[in-house]
Amino acid sequence: MADARDILRLDALCEVDDQGRVCRWSEGFGALVGDPSGRRLGELLGREPPAGELELQGRLYRVVRERLEGPAGVGGGELFRLEPARLGHQLEREHAARAEAEEAQRRLSFLYETATSLFKDARESRQTLTKLAQLLVPNLADWCMLDLVEGHKVERVAATHWNPDLDEKAAELTGPLSLDRSGKLGLARVLRTGKTHLEADWFPAPGEETVEDVAVLAGLGARAWMIVPIQARGRVVALLTLALSESTRTYSAEDVRLVEDLAARAALAVENALLFEDVRRAIRVRDDTISIVSHDLRNPMNAFVLQIQRLERLVTRHSAKSEAQTRELLTKMRNTVGSMERLINNLLDMARIEGGRLRLDRRAHEPVQVVTRVLEPLELLAGQKRQRLEIDLPPHLPKIWTDSDRLAQVFANLVGNAIKFTPEGGSISVRADPAVEGVRFVVEDNGPGISPEILPHIFDRYWQPKESARRGFGLGLFIVRGLVEAHGGRVWVESTPGKGSRFFFTVPVAPAEQELTQSP
């Protein structure tokens, strides 16, 4: 026995045709007669309306039945007149509900398929991000761009459009990016806040000044865009940019939720790739370290042993000549030990930089004092090759916030390399000037320069050109980069083969000096 109030709550609505058969019905009506799918409705209700109600044929009815006899038959009851719009509204609600359920299912399927594809062979972070960009167009965007965040650097590693004809244009969008230093716009804003930035209806003003990444969106004709952070290891490791340009749709709150969910799943794939890269890097470091210790450290040790044997023979002679030779030999032995000690210290610094364990004792220092102190012994080395070592530092540079010993290490590497590779009679200069990032230092020489194919690898660990004779351990410039970036600065190089090289690096100013330089 079913209560009529329970039946009313079903919204059991139907439409009867001229033959008295149900031709349209709501889901509640199907549930009422025990046939939600509607396959047997014709059988159950294929009869004429009760006597006296024939004039209602083709009208809409609410079916209220006081007794249900199961799916095989329908008990007694009455048909009541219903306003014609009622069934239409109910069917519209049901259609909207079905469409919403189908859309939710489609989104879940898209999430599942995308996540599954990302986790397949997720061994490289760049490859994983490139794959993500390809999966998101055209389903969620006309343009998709992904940026890898490494320390203070942001590089666009993937850009794609649904139209393959634009692949060449997409390729032009990749590379290092300069971010908004105020942290208020575009990628810089998302990096600072860790939250999604949505522009659902975007019309940039003509001639409006903006930052590089936002200017790129304007150049692509984006009408709507969003930037979503991909976070792993407690930080933002990548930035996902989706943009609509040709499409007439826009982004809704539901779209943002979907993309944020997708970014969370992508973060797991990126973290897996980063872990795999860490393992590969650790294996490579182990193998390279073993190679250096077995080869480069063995050579000075063998020389040291030979020098000791020679010293033993000289000691037994007790002549003035042998005394001079002994002093010379002791100097060579001291230099050999110094070379071995430098190699060991470089290996330790490399391990600290790789492991994020490099400690700095930062204080306010006058740039002139730091540079003068470190270059004094290097002037002697330059003099041995009849090279000019010039220092050109303005007298009123702001104080820098630095570990002076580590900064001396940076100069020793850069100036030492310039002395090593610049021919006799050449010139080397050290300059500095104020910059937005602090104080910018330049070490310039007129040596042979660096070929373009070598420049991208110049700061890589252990890397040296294969065609050149080995002249070091390949750690110096890697350590330079690690020390500069640990200070919050950056380092780069410009070079023209045959004309020399210029190495630039920046060091932040001391906090009190920073307030002075920023005041109006």
Instruction: Provide the CATH number for the domain around residue 208.
Output: 3.30.450.40
147 and 273 fall within a common domain: yes
The count of residues in the chain is 520
132 and 269 fall within a common domain: yes
- pLDDT value for 470: 42
The answer to whether 98 and 124 are in contact (CB under 8 A) is no
Tell me 69's DSSP state.
Answer: -
Residue at a domain's end among 312, 328, 355 = 355
- pLDDT value for 448: 92
Assessment of whether the complete model's pTM goes beyond 0.75: no
- pLDDT value for 389: 93
What is the rounded distance in angstroms from the CA atom of residue 113 to the CA atom of residue 118? 9
Token pair of 468 as six digits:
């050149």
341 and 396 fall within a common domain: no
Residue at a domain's end among 221, 248, 279 = 279
What is the rounded distance in angstroms from the CA atom of residue 419 to the CA atom of residue 389? 9
The answer to whether 334 and 311 are in contact (CB under 8 A) is no
Does 464 fall in a domain? yes
Provide the 3-class DSSP secondary structure of residue 132. helix
Q: How many CA atoms lie within 13 A of 326 on its CB side?
A: 13
Closest to 404 measured CA to CA, from 366, 354, 440: 366
134 and 262 fall within a common domain: yes
159 and 236 fall within a common domain: yes
Return the H-helix or E-strand segment holding 267: helix 253-295
138 and 272 fall within a common domain: yes
Q: Is there a cis peptide before residue 138, judged by omega within 30 degrees of 0?
A: yes
Does 29 fall in a domain? yes
> CATH no. for residue 374?
3.30.565.10
- pLDDT value for 248: 85
Closest to 143 measured CA to CA, from 156, 127, 159, 154: 159
182 and 205 fall within a common domain: yes
How many folded domains does the chain comprise? Answer: 4
What is the rounded distance in angstroms from the CA atom of residue 399 to the CA atom of residue 179? 26
Per-residue pLDDT of the chain (520 residues; tens, 9 = 90+): 344 444 444 466 666 555 555 566 666 666 665 666 555 554 444 444 443 333 333 333 444 333 333 333 333 333 333 444 554 565 566 666 676 666 666 776 766 777 677 667 767 888 888 888 888 888 888 999 999 998 778 899 999 999 999 989 999 999 988 877 677 888 989 998 999 999 988 877 665 557 888 889 988 999 999 999 999 878 899 999 999 999 888 898 888 988 898 888 888 888 888 888 888 877 777 766 666 666 566 666 667 777 777 776 766 666 666 677 777 777 777 766 766 776 677 777 777 777 677 888 999 999 999 998 888 888 888 888 999 999 999 988 999 999 998 998 899 889 989 999 999 999 999 999 999 889 999 999 999 999 888 888 888 876 665 545 444 446 789 889 999 999 999 999 999 999 999 999 999 998 875 544 444 3
275 and 302 fall within a common domain: no
Does 97 fall in a domain? no
What is the rounded distance in angstroms from the CA atom of residue 40 to the CA atom of residue 47? 13
Closest to 358 measured CA to CA, from 503, 485, 489: 485
**Single-letter amino acid, residue 353:** I
57 and 174 fall within a common domain: no
Does 7 fall in a domain? no
As beta bridge partners, residue 197 has: 227
Residue at a domain's end among 279, 302, 331 = 279
As beta bridge partners, residue 156 has: 147, 175
Does 3 fall in a domain? no
335 and 368 fall within a common domain: no
- pLDDT value for 60: 37
What is the rounded distance in angstroms from the CA atom of residue 366 to the CA atom of residue 394? 11
181 and 59 fall within a common domain: no
Does 484 fall in a domain? yes
381 and 345 fall within a common domain: no
Q: Which residues constitute the domain of residue 175?
A: 107-279
Does 448 fall in a domain? yes
The answer to whether 136 and 265 are in contact (CB under 8 A) is no
Does 514 fall in a domain? no
> CATH no. for residue 337?
1.10.287
